[in-house]
Amino acid sequence: MNSNGEGAAQARETGTLGKLMVLLDLVTHAHAPLRFTDILALAGQPRGTLHRQLSHLLEEGLLELDGDGRYAPGLRLLDFAARSWARNEFRLIAEPHLSDLQQATGETVHLGVLRGQSIIYLDKVDGRQPVRMYSQIGNASPCYCTGVGKAALSLLPAESLVDLLAGLSFTSFTASTHRSAETLLAEIREIADQGYAFDREEHEAGICCVAAPVWSQDRTFIGGISITGPAYRLSMELLRQWAVPVQLAAGRIMEDMRIRLGPRR
Amino acid sequence: MNSNGEGAAQARETGTLGKLMVLLDLVTHAHAPLRFTDILALAGQPRGTLHRQLSHLLEEGLLELDGDGRYAPGLRLLDFAARSWARNEFRLIAEPHLSDLQQATGETVHLGVLRGQSIIYLDKVDGRQPVRMYSQIGNASPCYCTGVGKAALSLLPAESLVDLLAGLSFTSFTASTHRSAETLLAEIREIADQGYAFDREEHEAGICCVAAPVWSQDRTFIGGISITGPAYRLSMELLRQWAVPVQLAAGRIMEDMRIRLGPRR
DNA sequence: AATTGAGTTCCAAATAATGGAACACTGGCA
DNA sequence: TGCCAGTGTTCCATTATTTGGAACTCAATT
């Protein structure tokens, strides 16, 4: 669902809303605030139309105009997100288990869910240093080069998996990033067997992790948890050792969800 | 020039988008996921219309359907917010100064900006305990009962202030919450003179703070920073002492903005 | 089998969005 | 100064989307 590789068929059936969301995507994905003309070029729409659309987004607080008349993401988005996050049941249930895992290992622990082709990080419990909050939470990362992503993919039924893989476009973030659906699929099969996944510096050089899949009974959530850290500290041997506690924590989260959400949703 | 500024109710001129945002507001403000019928009652719209609107929001990922067919805030909101937050210039500039202030006092430090009648918290640097992230960030609080809020109001030109106060409705969160525009206005005048504001358990019992106003040259941002903590630990005497460091930190933030954003935006 | 409640689909009428063009504002630059 | 190019804003007939009432499905209850 991210702006990643959806080149061709992007015909969303959401009418006016869809067009506005494309604009929101443009502005929030930009590396700096955009001027009207920049957006005009990117969006490829008539000036008058674009102007009114942007006005509406401004008036709703979804976008803001900075001092130089450039368009930046609006703070209302923060407000929405804060509430969306605070009440998220999956996150609330997982939280204590993430903390336990962090205590046991001393490293950073993540919780993420699969949304479209991306992993969205729902929570993070950081090791030592005074957390730079939001640093990861809410971020969307590709599913094919993150531990949580590959763990999540291993939960998908064969058909959905093939469909999803077919739509992927592989960006080579590091030397070890997967470059094709074939190698990825092979690894995902392995992950499905063993019940845990590694990220061997596939998304970011020097960062690796071990992850385990987590899902809700009704499959509303398909995601995972991971222990992440610098490669120099986290040897493959150590990661392999941690596969067990990560899987145990994942199991406890799912058990808690069964209790809290009722057995037969 | 749209001179219809006296909107008694919320007659937003944002067409289709405005109607959809009302729905998003309903769902994100609810304490639990809402069923279709709940929203139907709250929104007061024809069934067919509401159904299509919700479908569009679902398809865009702004809302999600939980296992029981109830509507919950969508995770796409998190994705938008994460980017909006990460690139926010005001926050980036203020960040080191917030940390400094936290180091100097050992208490929690907040950064907030005024948006409409609310303060939206942009950042937080917490004292000791491993931060519960997002806990405050993104939250919208009333301007009339928070230190940052009152500090921000003290920056407004008289006319805007009167307009804003006229539109406020006062909720008594604690015994010391302002109950009328008159007493509030008196305090704001005082704050404007002295350059700092207190919150004496006005929003939450047992929590108080001292805050100083911060603004950007072009007045795009009007906000403040605060030192917050439990009343038993933060005596009025201590808060008064901290008024100076808070004002100094605020000054440094504004100086950095001048440097970074250029002198005459 | 009949009833109720919840959610979904349909389509003519009402409404809002579209897009081309004209209009303003600004800051060079000859 | 006057001209020009680049930017952003406004207008309005045309076009497409949204609206809303009603009919329909589905499942659980009586």
Cβ atoms of residues A235 and A201 within 8 Å: no
**Cβ neighbour number for residue B57 with a 10 Å cutoff:** 23
Q: What is the pLDDT of residue B46?
A: 87
Q: β-strands A197-200, A207-215: how paired?
A: antiparallel
Interatomic separation, CA of residue A33 and C1' of nucleotide D10, rounded (Å):
24
Residue A144 per-residue DSSP state: G
CB A217 within 8 A of CB A257: yes
Residue B16 approaches strand C within 7 Å at CB: yes
Reference A240, options A204, A207, A210, A200; nearest CA is A210
How does strand A118-125 pair with strand A222-230?
A: unpaired
Check B28 against A77: CB less than 8 A apart. Answer: no
Domains and CATH numbers, chain B: 15-79 (1.10.10.10), 88-261 (3.30.450.40)
Closest Cα in chain A to B216: A67
- Is residue B265's beta carbon less than 7 angstroms from any atom in nucleic acid strand C? no
DSSP bridge pairs for B65? B71
Stated as kind and residue range, the H or E segment containing A7 is none
CA–CA dist B27, B190 (Å, integer):
39
pLDDT at site A135: 60
Residues 35-54 of A with CB under 8 A from B: none
Contacts with A7 (C-beta within 8 Å, 6 or more apart), sequence order: A169
**pLDDT of amino acid A3:** 34
Cβ contacts, strand D, under 7 angstroms: A 15-17, 35-37, 40, 47-48, 51-52, 69; B 1, 16, 19, 45-49, 52-53, 56
Q: CA–C1' distance A26–C25 (Å)?
A: 27
Cβ of residue B48 lies below 7 Å from strand C: yes
Q: Does A115 touch chain B (CB under 8 A)?
A: yes
Nearest to B84 among A28, A113, A118 (CB): A28
Instruction: Check residue B12 and give its pLDDT.
Output: 58
Smallest Cα distance from A223 to chain B, Å: 13
Give me the pLDDT at residue A262, please.
64
Interface residue A80 vs chain B (CB under 8 A):
yes
- Taking the C1' atom of every nucleotide in all shown strands and the CA of B46, the nearest one is D20
Q: Which nucleotides of D are covered by protein (CB under 7 A)?
A: 6-12, 17-23
Mapped to the 3 state alphabet, what secondary structure does A237-253 carry? HHHHHHHHHHHHHHHHH
Nearest to B28 among A20, A83, A220 (CB): A83
Residues of chain B with pLDDT under 70: 1-12, 128-135, 262-265
Contact (CB<8Å) A81/B18:
no
Q: What is the pLDDT of residue B135?
A: 60
Beta-ladder partners of B109? B125, B227
Q: What is the mean pLDDT of each run of 10 residues along chain A (265 residues)?
A: 33 77 91 89 88 90 87 92 88 93 91 93 75 66 96 93 93 95 95 96 93 87 93 93 96 91 57
State the SS3 of chain B. CCCCCCCCCCCCCCHHHHHHHHHHHHHHHCCCCECHHHHHHHHCCCHHHHHHHHHHHHHCCCEEECCCCCEEECCHHHHHHHHHHHCCHHHHHHHHHHHHHHHHHCCEEEEEEEECCEEEEEEEECCCCCCCCCCCCCCEEEHHHCHHHHHHHCCCCHHHHHHHHHCCCCCCCCCCCCCCHHHHHHHHHHHHHHCCEEEECCCCCCEEEEEEEEECCCCCCEEEEEEEEECCCCCHHHHHHHHHHHHHHHHHHHHHHHHHHCCCC
